[in-house]
Amino acid sequence: MRVALGIEYAGTPFTGWQSQADGRGVQDAVERALAAIAGAPVRVVAAGRTDAGVHATLQVAHFDAASVRPVTAWVRGTNSKLPPEVAVLWAEPVDAAFHARFAATARHYTYLLANRPVRPAVLGRRVGWYHRPLDVSAMREGASALVGTHDFTAFRAALCQARSPVKTLACADVRAFGDCIRFDFSANAFLHHMIRNIVGALIRVGAGKAPPAWIGQLLAGRDRTRGAATFAADGLYFTGADYDAAWHLPATRRPLALPWAQAR
């Protein structure tokens, strides 16, 4: 049987989603826990791979198991075998044709940035940080140039394995919440380090080191060496993926809530 999962995790102690030889990937932890419930090795496929230190409010995944178990076993049983930084939110039996990665029509990320003179402690490793005031309006203006279908080579990691740098970005929004700045991105797919490279470039604009128009120029130039440094992974969250309603999945998006912040 094939089962779809909704998973949340704090990525700080992991080497990223992808399975690693040392077993420190989130995928490794999930597969070990599922195998204990299934009574056999299990391979998990996710909607999107996240880098070391990146978090997820709702990662969608699927696996196949020869053993039939109730949904409660795939959720509560698996959670009893997982480290505290990872939890299965829901499990749903699905058609064998469902594929968490290839069936996804869009993916969503949020980046949280603490914008204050002193580095964050309570939210340490859960948000990025920039110590000088940033112009949110300028960053929002710069981000608008990224919306649409473009060649994102200028924001692509050197080791990116994607077949094409052309992606369609449906949302690139920047807003302030108290002393936190929130960046929201939605696209059909993302390149390796694409969001962290975009955030680094937007921060350069917000700091007054480049005009908003520079983002569009950087995009058109398709030269990664002219961009900003890749920003820290700490504040990046995978917040879900979109699927056709025909798959009958539970909610596959879980926006990052900010109950401790006031919008301005």
Domain that holds residue 181: 106-239
Mean pLDDT of 134-157: 98
Same domain assignment for residues 96 and 117: no
Q: Tell me 16's DSSP state.
A: B
Residue ending a domain, choose from 60, 80, 103: 103
Instruction: Give the pLDDT of residue 263.
Output: 47
Q: Tell whether 113 and 216 lie within a shared domain.
A: yes
Q: Looking at the domain assignment, is residue 127 inside a domain? A: yes
How many domains is the chain built from? 2
**Residue 197 backbone dihedrals phi, psi, to 5 degrees:** -75, -35
Active site residue 51: yes
pLDDT confidence of residue 94: 97
Q: What is the pLDDT of residue 161?
A: 86
The model's confidence at residue 257, banded by pLDDT at 50, 70 and 90, is confident
For residues 58 and 239, the answer to whether their CB atoms sit within 8 Å is yes
56 assigned to some structural domain = yes
* 3 pLDDT higher than 50: yes
Q: Which residues touch 69 (CB under 8 Å, ≥6 apart)?
A: 37, 38, 77
Q: Which of 51, 184, 234, 242 is catalytic?
A: 51
Residue 46 one-letter amino acid: A
- 182 located within any domain: yes
Same domain (yes/no): 133, 198: yes
| 96 in the same domain as 13 | yes
Q: What is the CATH number of the domain that holds 219?
A: 3.30.70.660
pTM exceeds 0.85 for this model: yes
Pair 186, 115 in one domain: yes
Q: Summarize pLDDT for 53-69 with one digit per residue, the tens.
A: 999 999 999 999 998 99
In three-state secondary structure terms, 3 is strand
Q: Report the candidate in 76, 85, 98 with the shortest Cα–Cα distance to residue 2.
A: 98
pLDDT (tens digit, 9 = 90+) per residue, 154-174? 999 988 888 999 999 999 999
What is the average per-residue pLDDT within 195-204?
98
